[in-house]
Amino acid sequence: MPSPLDGIRIVEMTSVVLGPYACQMLGDLGADVIKVEPLEGDTNRNLGPHSNNSDMGSLYLTCNRNKRSIALDLKSDDGKAALRELLKTADVLIHNFRPQAIDRLGFSYDNVKALKPDIVYCGAYGYAKNGPYGEKGALDDSIQAASGIAMLQSMVEGEPRYLPTIVADKTTALMVVQAVMAALFHRERSGEGQEVEVPMFETMASYVMTEHLWGKTFEPNIGEAGYVRLMAKHRRPYKTKDGLYLAVLPYWDNHWNTFCELAERPDLAEDPRFLNMRLRLQNINESYKATGEIIITKTRQEWLDLLGNTKVPMMVVNTLDGLVEDPHLVETGFWQEFDHPTEGRVRMSSPPMNFSKTPAEIRKLAPRLGENSVEVLKEAGLADATIDAMLAAGTVKVPS
């Protein structure tokens, strides 16, 4: 069956996680993603466990399926010329160079538009290029700091902390996918390509302040920024009698009343601090503290048995290893296993969206560095003699 982006060719010039993860999602949706790597390869090739002495680390494998790899020396004239020919065949270019760096390389939007007038050109930057931070480099941690995420952690940790996940990279990757597909939809209707900018800082500022703008939503302000429920000191998974943890959230009034009834605490349902959701929000720390004091009186299984058939939101607290064995993910086929030609048996998460007519799917596993260099250059129209000369000169690379 065809996938949603069948027939769309994307040239990817990215590394680390933001760009590769975005392009992997587009590849899952059927796009032909050609990953243009430097001769030394994407830096993530060497991050994480390796099954052998190859350049196929775990973090590379989980961000680069459904792609083809071409390794080019873009400091050479031949490498740049080959990329220009490739871009003439592309629908989309996605890169995460700083704006000044891509301009110096010779592949600004104006230069690429001259090669392919209807191309969708997407730059995923740290900061919008027309602002005072426009020339700054960025990594996930620095964007967590700039966007307020690290400081939010101080509410519970007592000092700023980074979330132990690359939330800025992965969230911005989702925005890249949305932006590219919107631009392709516009091109489908109008015939026009365009330049698209997806800066990490602005993406994450929007992400954080959706709920935390709070009192500063209004001008003049009618309160401070910050959604008070999320910053409550006692907002955390609750420890049970057997030392395990549960997420229990008797949030709406019907949830709270059910929870109090089954916990045999009618006094809490009648407590003037907790009579309705508005009052519980005003007294959120006390509400969370009272809930935690109740949860620790029973084992996790006892709570699962007691609340499992109610509408009270509740979930076990998974470990990372536990996610691999989670019964829901196993039953739905979320985890898939494949035999990689060089790395052996590998596990992949499925595309998390389901289409009834145009399924997303894993068609190719992550490529070796330069695995598809020759075939891609031939598709771009380069003659065999030109490709042979580039191989001899070392301006294009294939696996050894």
The confidence score (pLDDT) of residue 95 equals 98
Q: Looking up tokens 């191309």, which residue turns up?
A: 119
Q: Looking up tokens 């560095």, which residue turns up?
A: 369
239 backbone dihedrals φ, ψ, rounded to 5°: -80, 135
Residue 254 banded pLDDT, cuts 50, 70, 90: very high
Specify the pTM.
Answer: 0.93
Alpha-carbon gap, residue 234 to 257, rounded angstroms:
20
**197: β partners:** 123
Res. 157: pLDDT tops 90: no
Which of 138-142, 163-167, 226-230 has the least mean pLDDT?
226-230
Residue 175 banded pLDDT, cuts 50, 70, 90: very high
233 touches 156 (CB < 8 A) = yes
Domains and CATH numbers, the chain: 9-207+333-397 (3.40.50.10540), 238-316 (3.30.1540.10)
The confidence score (pLDDT) of residue 125 equals 93
Alpha-carbon gap, residue 321 to 329, rounded angstroms:
13
Residue 216 banded pLDDT, cuts 50, 70, 90: confident
Tokens read off for 290 = 């009272």
Helices (H) and strands (E) in the chain, counts: 19, 12
Tokens read off for 204 = 């994450």
* Cis preceding linkage at 352, omega within 30: no
Tokens read off for 22 = 């975005």
Average pLDDT for residues 63-69, to the nearest whole number? 97
| Spatial CA neighbour of 92 closest among 22, 42, 16 | 22
Beta-strand pair 67-72/32-37: parallel
Q: Kindly report each contact of residues 208-214 with a partner whose C-beta sits within 8 Å and lies 24 or more positions away, as own/partner.
A: 208/147, 208/148, 208/149, 208/152, 209/148, 212/148, 212/152
Tokens read off for 320 = 């990372």
**Burial of residue 192 (number of CB atoms within 10 Å: 0-12, 13-18, 19+):** exposed
**34: β partners:** 11, 68
Residue by residue, DSSP assigns 251-295 as -SHHHHHHHHHHTT-HHHHT-TTSSSHHHHHHTHHHHHHHHHHHH
